Structure 1
Amino acid sequence: MSKQKYISLILILGSLTAIGPFSIDMYLPGFPAIAKDLNTTAARVALSLSSFFIGISAGQLLYGPLLDRFGRKKPLYIGLTIYIAASVGCALIHTIDGLIALRLVQAVGSCAAGVASVAMVRDLFPVKDSAKVFATLMLIVGLSPMLAPTIGGYVTEAFGWQGVFITLAFMGAAMLAACVLWLPDTYTPDTTLSLKPLPILTGFWSVLREPQFYTYTFAGAMAFCGLFAYVADSPLVFMDIFGVDGKTYGWIFAFLSIGLIGSSQVNSMLLQRFSNEQLVYTSLICQVLTSLVFLVLTLNGWIGLGGTIALLFVFLCCLGFNSPNTSALSLAPFEKNAGSASALLGAIRMGMGALASVAVSVFNNHTAVPMVGVMAGASVLALLILLIGRKQITAPVAVSEGQLAEAVH
């Protein structure tokens, strides 16, 4: 493969992986404007984020079998077309209920891009290069939450919140054109693969029964609920409670993303001295302590903007350590059905995250307490799941380098 072709493939696959994060984060600075235009509250607008998480959760289970049965490009084309249409619909909608529904459809469409990009790394690159490719894609994914809210803040100020969804539609259209023109399809569809519900569900059930999978998957997903609570409620906390404008909120969000991204990179270095299990346990302890201190300070009104940013930064650093390690440990026992395990892992994480984002919206009281309460409660439950579940693992399976690369992605 020539260097030019290698770079073009990385750019296309990286852009596909970025569609989801951009769709989640880019419209966050527009929450107050959306609430005003649609005659609702910022908490109600946050439900459109929850519906997006639900769509991603369901979409991961949907596209896995479709990509194997019909090849990579046809489901990808269909997903991107759905994404573009839903993005335009979001820009034209005049009711909050319509926005919530269209965001779910938009998520299902975007999911094709994320799932296909992972599958196509295996198709297009040698096995020995997969870890390097995944690391590059992870860097692009990591940069997305830093760039998206900042860009979204400027777009919202210049063109209104509708401009964000038009921008996303153009991104989807550009990706669709790039895939049609320059993305090869080297995968031969497996026409023998059954798409009947029973065989698919049986495969998922065989994965779910593995103690190492359910222990680290549910512990990691519960810990990750704090991130979804933060993303869903941060526009309210920073723009309504602390009164920062959309641009400033975008920069704060970008700064906090450094904690999550930076710690995940440090995690790779620490794995040379410590095991995945050790890093999971230590990071969860730190996450529980941080969130409980955060909750006490918030309940008593002893914390301001600076303290909130500082504690959120520490909390996200903890997630940057435990998330890739819980994912890798979840996938470690699987070889033949790693695709099903990966899809189920993603669906559980996004599904529980959706519940967390719904919770902060339902219990909204115009303070940061719902967000911090969900962060603290979920962190404590994650630690309990880990402590109880580890006793059920009789023969733990170590993590290979390739599994860690895929889990980090």
Structure 2
Amino acid sequence: MTNASPPPAHVPWRLVLLLGALTAFAPMSIDMYLSSLPSIGRTLNAAPDQTQATLAAFFAGMAIGQVFYGPASDRFGRRPPLLVGVGLFIAASIVCAVAPNIETLIAARFVQALGGCAGPVIARAVVRDRFSHTDTARVLSLMTLIMGLAPVLAPQLGGVVQFVAGWRGVFWTLVMFGVLIAAWVVLSLTESRSAATEAQARSENPLKAYVALFGMRRLMGYALAGALNGAVLFTYISGAPDLVMGTYGHSPLVFNLVFALNAVGIIGASQINRFLLRRSTPDQVLARASVASIVAALLLTLAAWTGFGGQWTVLPLLFAALSLYGLMGGNTMAGALSVDPQRAGSTSALMGSASFGAGAVASWAGAALHDGTPRPVAGVMFACLVGSALAIFLLALPGAKKIQA
């Protein structure tokens, strides 16, 4: 590894804004409707586990759909699969808005995710098409700044829309979001896939592409690290409502403030990452952040198990552990995309699917271990970060060579 990074490239802000918006499909679709779950249950005569299944179905759709969009974008270009995905998202959102029963809503949420997952997969591939390894990490950090606004604003927007138009109005808002993104893509996004990427994709079927990626030790290190880092975030998202409002007895307003503050922490760390990359390589930042995250998660776990300081210790340490995600997410993704640039779409899909898959497992583990204390959330987060560190130091970083620009 080199000891310093090249000067940052000029930032095309219009492109970054569009790509950041494309990565916001998941947080918009999840965070906007969380406060509507009780209302959905009452309207559709659904039990709590059925309304929760609408969230699980969305996670499953996000994990599965990405597998297909990655190879498709390598073979057919970035724009066509993206527009197909956004169109599917719009259609499924309409079905969600008019769903007559909970079964229809669950199925429509799954399809909604199948469409929406095209956004982040192809956005990341476009970044790798246009930028070097280090600049990819910088641009991904900028995209995190934009994407990070969704968890801050979406719950408040969802609450306002629900108050004015009910939970169905939330899904009509998502329909309008999808239409806006589709128009933006048509008018602004130019094709970026290279001829070499097209030739590579046409020379092999998608399964062969994934088999080739699984055989790359360095890429698997980044993928496992990225997936387990993502699992930390999903564990928090699924466990935070019960922890803040149930265990600590705070109001929904306080929960929204805590949720927003942690999102700001992730955004802030992602912007610190941009400045750190002026003096260090993405791998160097990733290694240091990984160690720091384990320390934060260990302290969080100790506080959760001992009860020392109660929520006034747990919540700040939770903020610290989550904030470090902003230093790790972009660098794991940039590292993975740099290993085989000609399969950038497939790599992006693999990273995204692994993250959602690991997140679903971690969320399930946290729910299964639920005991009314912060222990399950802290324990699962600590285990994920230890696994992430092992992947980074044993697979991704050893014997690293200079990566293709």
Q: TM-score range by the shorter chain?
A: 0.7 to 0.9
Q: What is the SS of the residue equivalent to 1:160?
A: helix
Matched, 1:226 2:232: yes
Task: Select the residue among 201, 206, 210 that pairs with 2:207.
Answer: 201
Amino acid across the alignment from 1:49: L
Task: Select the residue among 81, 84, 87 that pairs with 2:87.
Answer: 81
Task: Select the residue among 394, 401, 405 that pairs with 1:397.
Answer: 401
User: How far apart, CA to CA, are the structure 2 residues paired with 1:188 and 1:378?
Assistant: 34
- Which residue of 1 is the match for residue 175 of structure 2? 169
Change over 3 Å in CA distance of 1:188–1:232 after alignment to 2: closer
User: How far apart, CA to CA, are the structure 2 residues paired with 1:398 and 1:204?
Assistant: 23
Deviation at 1:316, TM superposition (A): 1.2
- Which residue of 2 is the match for residue 297 of structure 1? 303
- Which residue of 1 is the match for residue 8 of structure 2? none
Task: Select the residue among 90, 95, 104 that pairs with 2:110.
Answer: 104
| Length, aligned pairs only | 389
User: How far apart, CA to CA, are the structure 2 residues paired with 1:14 and 1:318?
Assistant: 20
The question of whether the paired residues in 2 share the 8 Å contact of 1:150 and 1:250 is answered with: yes
The question of whether the paired residues in 2 share the 8 Å contact of 1:29 and 1:249 is answered with: no
- Which residue of 1 is the match for residue 57 of structure 2? 51
User: How far apart, CA to CA, are the structure 2 residues paired with 1:222 and 1:10?
Assistant: 26
The question of whether the paired residues in 2 share the 8 Å contact of 1:87 and 1:106 is answered with: yes
User: How far apart, CA to CA, are the structure 2 residues paired with 1:44 and 1:241?
Assistant: 23
The question of whether the paired residues in 2 share the 8 Å contact of 1:53 and 1:107 is answered with: yes
Amino acid across the alignment from 2:181: M
Matched, 1:151 2:157: yes
Deviation at 1:262, TM superposition (A): 0.9
Task: Select the residue among 289, 294, 297 that pairs with 1:288.
Answer: 294
- Which residue of 1 is the match for residue 146 of structure 2? 140
Unaligned stretches of 5+ in structure 2? Answer: 1-11
Deviation at 1:224, TM superposition (A): 2.6
Change over 3 Å in CA distance of 1:239–1:99 after alignment to 2: farther
After superposition, give the CA deviation of every residue in 1:93-126 in whole Å (9 maximum; x if it has no partner). Answer: 4655544433221111112233344455678x79
Match runs of 1:10-29 below 5 Å: 12-29=18-35
Change over 3 Å in CA distance of 1:33–1:294 after alignment to 2: farther
The question of whether the paired residues in 2 share the 8 Å contact of 1:88 and 1:165 is answered with: yes
User: How far apart, CA to CA, are the structure 1 residues paired with 2:24 and 2:46?
Assistant: 31
Deviation at 1:269, TM superposition (A): 1.9
Task: Select the residue among 341, 348, 368 that pairs with 1:342.
Answer: 348
After superposition, give the CA deviation of every residue in 1:206-256 in whole Å (9 maximum; x if it has no partner). Answer: 122112111222123213311110012212222333343434322221111
Q: What is the SS of the residue equivalent to 1:336?
A: helix
Change over 3 Å in CA distance of 1:145–1:216 after alignment to 2: same
Change over 3 Å in CA distance of 1:303–1:44 after alignment to 2: farther
Matched, 1:67 2:67: no
Deviation at 1:88, TM superposition (A): 2.8
User: How far apart, CA to CA, are the structure 1 residues paired with 2:306 and 2:101?
Assistant: 37
After superposition, give the CA deviation of every residue in 1:270-312 in whole Å (9 maximum; x if it has no partner). Answer: 2334443443333223222322332333234445444333112
Deviation at 1:168, TM superposition (A): 0.9
Unaligned stretches of 5+ in structure 1? Answer: 1-5, 403-409
- Taking only the aligned residue pairs, the percentage that are identical comes to 34
- Which residue of 1 is the match for residue 3 of structure 2? none
User: How far apart, CA to CA, are the structure 2 residues paired with 1:186 and 1:276?
Assistant: 27
- Which residue of 1 is the match for residue 47 of structure 2? 40
Amino acid across the alignment from 2:400: P
Change over 3 Å in CA distance of 1:121–1:378 after alignment to 2: closer
Match runs of 1:307-386 below 5 Å: 307-386=313-392
User: How far apart, CA to CA, are the structure 1 residues paired with 2:352 and 2:314?
Assistant: 29
Amino acid across the alignment from 1:229: T
Match runs of 1:174-253 below 5 Å: 174-180=180-186, 182-183=187-188, 186=191, 199-253=205-259
Deviation at 1:187, TM superposition (A): 6.6
Change over 3 Å in CA distance of 1:94–1:294 after alignment to 2: farther
User: How far apart, CA to CA, are the structure 2 residues paired with 1:74 and 1:306?
Assistant: 49
User: So what's the TM-score if we normalise by structure 2?
Assistant: 0.81
Amino acid across the alignment from 2:47: T
The question of whether the paired residues in 2 share the 8 Å contact of 1:61 and 1:347 is answered with: yes
User: How far apart, CA to CA, are the structure 2 residues paired with 1:278 and 1:178?
Assistant: 36
Deviation at 1:390, TM superposition (A): 5.8
| Cα-Cα RMSD | 3.5
User: How far apart, CA to CA, are the structure 1 residues paired with 2:65 and 2:324?
Assistant: 28
- Which residue of 1 is the match for residue 285 of structure 2? 279
- Which residue of 2 is the match for residue 407 of structure 1? none
Deviation at 1:54, TM superposition (A): 2.5
Amino acid across the alignment from 1:104: F
User: How far apart, CA to CA, are the structure 2 residues paired with 1:267 and 1:358?
Assistant: 31
- Which residue of 2 is the match for residue 255 of structure 1? 261
Deviation at 1:73, TM superposition (A): 4.2
Change over 3 Å in CA distance of 1:266–1:398 after alignment to 2: farther
User: How far apart, CA to CA, are the structure 1 residues paired with 2:222 and 2:126?
Assistant: 26
The question of whether the paired residues in 2 share the 8 Å contact of 1:83 and 1:172 is answered with: yes
